[in-house]
Structure 1
Amino acid sequence: PGLAGKSNALNLGEFRLAADPSASKKISQFCVRLEAKQKLRLNYGVTERQLLKYVRIARRTRGSTGQVPLQLLEMRLDNVIFQLGMAPTIPAARQLVSHRHILVNHRIVDIPSYRRKPRDIITIRNRPTSCNASKDESLKGDEVPDHLTLSLSETSEPTGLVKHMVNRESVNLDINELLVVEYYSRKA
């Protein structure tokens, strides 16, 4: 998870060429689309079925078909917790949610794929086990995206607020989302 800051990762085409130097140097369009889909899927830690569901939702809604799945993935609860810095990784955020340590609008939510809406308040439960689960050096709030705010106070638990829906400019992921939609054009 978190491919946004990694620049030295090999893409699928480079890996294929490095494995077999006698192979043709031309990378097929299918390989390019597959690479974009895998990059998106692995960055957010979702399954193939979940990503296909988000693409199908994007086809039914108004707006850019490529940007809607990105918005849906960015507004997942596990991703919001990761971006707020309440967890060091997306799988750790998913574990916090599934172990019932997270409150959304003062209610326990234990579904990592729960979709966040603007003006939602996200807090950590006020229990000793919940506090221990989130006490980490990741709770600094270094790079919180524009659509989120994090308030840290000494007396209470860290609180995150979803200000508005995410836009494409604030997503720090180098990917062409239309390639993902084109990949799923046969299935959806």
Structure 2
Amino acid sequence: MAIDRVPALKRCRALGLEPGVVGISRESKRQVRRTNRKVSEYGMQLKEKQKAKFIYGVLEKQFRKYYEKAKTMPGVTGENLLGLLERRIDNVVYRIGLAQTRKQARQIVRHGHILVNGKRLDIPSALVSVGDVITVAEKSRSKAMFKEIAESQNSLSAPAWLEADPAKLSGSVTRFPERSEIDIPVTEQAIVELYSR
């Protein structure tokens, strides 16, 4: 399995992202060098695709599959693409406040700590549906990280399409996300144009 080992802060600098977008609280101490180099249209489209891939932790082959699926769905392809990425179980675990970053959420899912509708799900790329209930497995609730989440009152607020209850270490999908509720700084139309070349 391919693994992206580029340091997160370095990638944030290269893509012009705030580290908070990917859940990192610390800032880079390096100065950003300003260049007056003109970026081509293709370069801008490629950067938007790389941003989306980096934020959601998806590699090229899988990202392309999401695009192909989004293309066949009714509605706007770019919005469908972001909607599919938002519905990944690792992203949902992050959004309902059970993890501090999407990478941590992916690891939590991989290790079998998450139940969807009472059944263990350890595939981070699995898509959730409306009505799905996401909970932490009973045997995992005694772990320090989950105890801390259950006891803390300042949890990450979930978007409107999700219902979160950090005290009970659970959440549910009330509906599919709309573009206005997806707060990542990506121009999805540029990604569609890139793949349409």
Q: Is the alpha carbon distance of 1:55 and 1:130 closer, same or farther for their aligned partners in structure 2, counting shifts above 3 Å?
A: farther
Tell me, yes or no, if structure 1 residue 118 matches structure 2 residue 130.
yes
Please state how far the C-alpha of 1:104 moved relative to its aligned partner.
Answer: 0.2
Tell me how far apart the structure 1 counterparts of residues 174 and 140 of structure 2 sit (CA, whole Å). 29
Tell me how far apart the structure 2 counterparts of residues 150 and 27 of structure 1 sit (CA, whole Å). 41
Q: Find 1:181's aligned residue among 164, 170, 192.
A: 192
Aligned length: 171
Q: How is 1:98-137 mapped onto 2 (pairs within 5 angstroms)?
A: 98-128=110-140, 131-136=143-148
TM-score scaled by structure 2? 0.78
Please state how far the C-alpha of 1:134 moved relative to its aligned partner.
Answer: 2.7
Q: How is 1:48-127 mapped onto 2 (pairs within 5 angstroms)?
A: 48-127=60-139
- Name the amino acid aligned to 2:165: S
1:143 matched residue in structure 2: 157
Q: Could you tell me the percent identity over the aligned residues?
A: 35
Tell me how far apart the structure 2 counterparts of residues 165 and 39 of structure 1 sit (CA, whole Å). 22
Structure 1 residue runs without a partner (length 5+): none
- SS for the counterpart of 1:46 is coil
1:161 matched residue in structure 2: 172
Tell me how far apart the structure 1 counterparts of residues 107 and 41 of structure 2 sit (CA, whole Å). 37
Q: Is the 8 A contact 2:97 2:166 kept in 1?
A: no
Tell me, yes or no, if structure 1 residue 34 matches structure 2 residue 41.
no
Please state how far the C-alpha of 1:133 moved relative to its aligned partner.
Answer: 4.7
Q: Is the alpha carbon distance of 1:32 and 1:128 closer, same or farther for their aligned partners in structure 2, counting shifts above 3 Å?
A: closer
- Name the amino acid aligned to 2:127: R
Q: Is the 8 A contact 1:103 1:123 kept in 2?
A: yes
- SS for the counterpart of 1:103 is strand
- SS for the counterpart of 2:138 is coil
Cα deviation, 1:41-98, whole Å, max 9, x if unaligned, reads: 1111111111111111111121101111100000000000001110111111111111
Tell me how far apart the structure 1 counterparts of residues 144 and 97 of structure 2 sit (CA, whole Å). 15
TM-score scaled by structure 1? 0.81
Tell me how far apart the structure 2 counterparts of residues 68 and 163 of structure 1 sit (CA, whole Å). 17
Structure 2 residue runs without a partner (length 5+): 1-7, 22-26
Q: Which of the two has higher C-alpha Rg?
A: 1
- SS for the counterpart of 1:66 is helix
- Name the amino acid aligned to 2:176: M
RMSD: 2.5
Q: Is the alpha carbon distance of 1:92 and 1:142 closer, same or farther for their aligned partners in structure 2, counting shifts above 3 Å?
A: closer
